[in-house]
C-alpha cells in the first residue's frame, strides 16, 4: 500500500533552518510529484511547492522563493523540504503529499502523517 | 494567485441531515477542483477530484458539483464519521491554493 512517512517533530529557534524528510513506499517513486503543504495551528492549508521526483525540477510558491529548497534522493525514495530563516509564523505541521505528474491531476491522493515544526526562542 | 473562498466556515448539523458546502474561486478554474476531509490531529483525506469524481472507496453520500468559479460539496445524509473539516483545492494553476475550510460540527 502507498505510504508517505515523514520525519519527526522539530523544535528550533528563530533564524534557524529545518529539513523535513518524506519517505515513500508502495509506488514507483519517480512517477509522482511530491508536494509540501503546511498548516499553522488552527488554520487552513498552504502549499509551499513541489519536486518532480523523476527530474529533480521544482516549483515553489512565490511566498517561499529564496527560503525553501525541495530535493529528492531516488536511491532511497525520499523527498526533502528545507526551510531557512525561520520565524515564529513558520510554526506549523508540514505535510508531504503526492500527485500524478500529468496536468489535470494535481490533487493529493496520499499524504504523509505530518511533521510538526515549532519555532520558538 | 487564485483565491478560494469557502462558506460557511462552520456548519452545525445533525445525523441524517443533508449538508452543502460552497467553494468559490476568484477566477475560472474549469472543473479543476478537489475536496478533502480532515479530522483533528490527522492529515487531510482525499474525497473528490475534477469537481465531481469520487475517489475509490468514498461513500456515495458524498457528491460534488460545479464548474467555473462556483462549486459545492454535498453530504446527502450526514453520518457520525462525517463530522470533520472540509477543504477545497484548485489545481488549475500554480500556486495550488485551498479554501479556508468548513467545520461540520454536531448540532
**Is cis: bond before B8, omega within 30 of 0?**
yes
Question: What local confidence, expressed as pLDDT, does residue A102 receive?
Answer: 86
Q: Does the beta-carbon distance from A112 to B44 stay under 8 Å?
A: no
Nearest neighbour of A107 by CB, restricted to B45, B89, B97: B89
Span A8-38, pLDDT tens digits: 999 999 999 999 999 999 888 988 999 999 9
Region B79-84: mean pLDDT is 96
**C-alpha cell belonging to residue B17:** 441531515
Chain B nearest-CA distance from A45, in A, is 6
Question: What local confidence, expressed as pLDDT, does residue A104 receive?
Answer: 83
Separation between Cα atoms, residue A42 and residue A20, nearest integer Å: 21
Amino acid at each position: 500500500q502507498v505510504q508517505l512517512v515523514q520525519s519527526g517533530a522539530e523544535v528550533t529557534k528563530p533564524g534557524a533552518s529545518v529539513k523535513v524528510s518524506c519517505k515513500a513506499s508502495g509506488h514507483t517513486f519517480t512517477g509522482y510529484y511530491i508536494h509540501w503543504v503546511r498548516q499553522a495551528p488552527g488554520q487552513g492549508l498552504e502549499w509551499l511547492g513541489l519536486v518532480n521526483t523523476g527530474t529533480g525540477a521544482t516549483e515553489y510558491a512565490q511566498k517561499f522563493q529564496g527560503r525553501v529548497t525541495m530535493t529528492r534522493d531516488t536511491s532511497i525514495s525520499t523527498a526533502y523540504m528545507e526551510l531557512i530563516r525561520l520565524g515564529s509564523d513558520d510554526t506549523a505541521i508540514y505535510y508531504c503529499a503526492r500527485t500524478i505528474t500529468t496536468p489535470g491531476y494535481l490533487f493529493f491522493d496520499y499524504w504523509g502523517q505530518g511533521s510538526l515544526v515549532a519555532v520558538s526562542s | 494567485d487564485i483565491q478560494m473562498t469557502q462558506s460557511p466556515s462552520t456548519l452545525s448539523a445533525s445525523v441524517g441531515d443533508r449538508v452543502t458546502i460552497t467553494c468559490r474561486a476568484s477566477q475560472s478554474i474549469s472543473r479543476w477542483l478537489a475536496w478533502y476531509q480532515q479530522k483533528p490531529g490527522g492529515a487531510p483525506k482525499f474525497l473528490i477530484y475534477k469537481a465531481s469524481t469520487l475517489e475509490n472507496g468514498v461513500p456515495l453520500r458524498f457528491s460534488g458539483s460545479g464548474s467555473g468559479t462556483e462549486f459545492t460539496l454535498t453530504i446527502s445524509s450526514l453520518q457520525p464519521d462525517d463530522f470533520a473539516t472540509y477543504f477545497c483545492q484548485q489545481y488549475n494553476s500554480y500556486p495550488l491554493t485551498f479554501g479556508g475550510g468548513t467545520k461540520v460540527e454536531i448540532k
